[in-house]
Structure 1
Amino acid sequence: MSDLISIFLPEWPMLAAFGVAAIVLAITPGPDMALFLSRAINFGRIHGVVSLLGAMTGILIHTAFVVFGVSVLITTAPIAFLVLKVVGALYLLWLAFSAIRAGHNFSLSDSKNAVPPKLIKSYWTGLGINLLNPKVVLFFITFLPQFVSSADPNAAYKLFSLGILFNLISLPMLIAMIYSADRLAVALTKSKWIGRAMNYGFAAVFASFAAIILTAQARH
């Protein structure tokens, strides 16, 4: 059993770091959260959940592309893979800086008087906001490879497992947010310190994580 786990998951310290990063990313306000809450408030919670499932599908698609691309780099260009990891760490630092600079910046679209769309449209909207967001694309390309080594023959399995794990960690928290959408939306839009605290927490976690990655690469 332990051998099977080692094939699909990284070591426990790295897995714990990934879990913390996933939690912080899931609860940090952004376009995807604004979509889920807007759909829940304007058209009902089921629309919020369905749009969330669309976004989760997008994450799995991003993960599949990352698995394919990183696997090619590991086997054909290990130096390029190392560069990708360093660039990824620097990108995490940039995200941390951007979160601090943004402070409080969260708004919801108001469509309460609009005709509720079909559920499938909410799903496609969630998928689209995830797949077509260049920040999400860049994030997954640079984020997931931080948790594998070029010397690991099971890197592809681990990458895809982490993408699934990201969804499993995010899903219950985001569903809870959707079911408390009215109160959460008021808190995020009216109380600046809540949004600021979330962004600062995001910045602290990712800056620390990027620093650890960069120092580890320097030692190599």
Structure 2
Amino acid sequence: MPDFVPDLSVILGFALAGFVLAVTPGPDMALFVSRTMNFGRAHGFAAVLGTSTGIAVHTMLVAFGISVLIVAAPAAFWALKVAGALYLVWLAIQAIRAGGGILVTRAAGKQPTLVQSYMTGLAINLTNPKVALFFVTFLPQFISASDRAAASKLLFLGAEFIIVSLPVVVATVLFAEWLTTTLRDKQWISKALNWSFAAVFMAFAATILLAQGRK
């Protein structure tokens, strides 16, 4: 077996942990649903690709030690927390504004490009301190510090996480597309979903800021 491939027990254990994390609701899942319901399946998958790119970045940072430096520097990590929280607040505002980019109700002339949906997914992932903290604290638990192939194995596990989470996020996008077709003519449900998305983003923003404020 190549040096960069962990033991089978490690692969299976990490796959289970990755699946649990993937099915846990969060701002990324809310973004997948809202982009799909507003702009279609392609935009949902573009947001998925953006968050997957973010996960790849986090994995590389952990593998090469940069994320550890971020966590070790309180000012830098605090800035990351605040940036992530403010971005979620902005998304919440967009969710309840007429013509906003997150709305379930389609708005003529306001459709973003696929690149914009991709960048939104990437930004949410990169500015989410919980994702950074997960990869910094959890991912290394599956690797021995004395392993000379530790960096390559961390990259392998990062790729594994993306693969394990793909069925979950693909199912989320497809379900959102079905839900859009089913509820297209029920405007009050669309408005309720808009406010629900806003509540999700605001709740995560408040959690991030309050957690920082207690330190």
Distance in 2 (CA, whole Å) between partners of 1:130 and 1:184 is 25
Cα shift readout 1:146-203 (whole Å, capped 9, x = no counterpart) = 11001211111100111111111111321122011156799xx7xxxxxxxxxxxxxx
How many equivalent residue pairs? 149
Aligned match of 1:88: none
Q: 1:53 aligns with which of 49, 52, 77?
A: 49
Aligned match of 1:117: 112
Q: Which of 13-22 and 175-184 deviates more?
A: 175-184
Pairwise CA distance, 1:111: 4.1
Match for 1:113: what amino acid? R
CA contact (8 A) 1:51 1:127 kept: yes
The yes-or-no answer on 1:142 pairing with 2:137 is: yes
Helix, strand or coil: the match of 1:141? helix
Q: Over aligned residue pairs, what C-alpha RMSD do you find?
A: 2.4
The yes-or-no answer on 1:41 pairing with 2:34 is: no
What runs of 5+ residues in structure 1 fail to find an aligned partner?
Answer: 74-107, 190-220
Q: How does 1:11-160 map to 2 (within 5 A)?
A: 11-69=7-65, 109-114=102-107, 115-160=110-155
Match for 2:26: what amino acid? G
TM-score, length basis structure 1: 0.62
TM-score, length basis structure 2: 0.63
Distance in 1 (CA, whole Å) between partners of 2:43 and 2:23 is 19
What runs of 5+ residues in structure 2 fail to find an aligned partner?
Answer: 70-94, 96-101, 184-192, 194-215
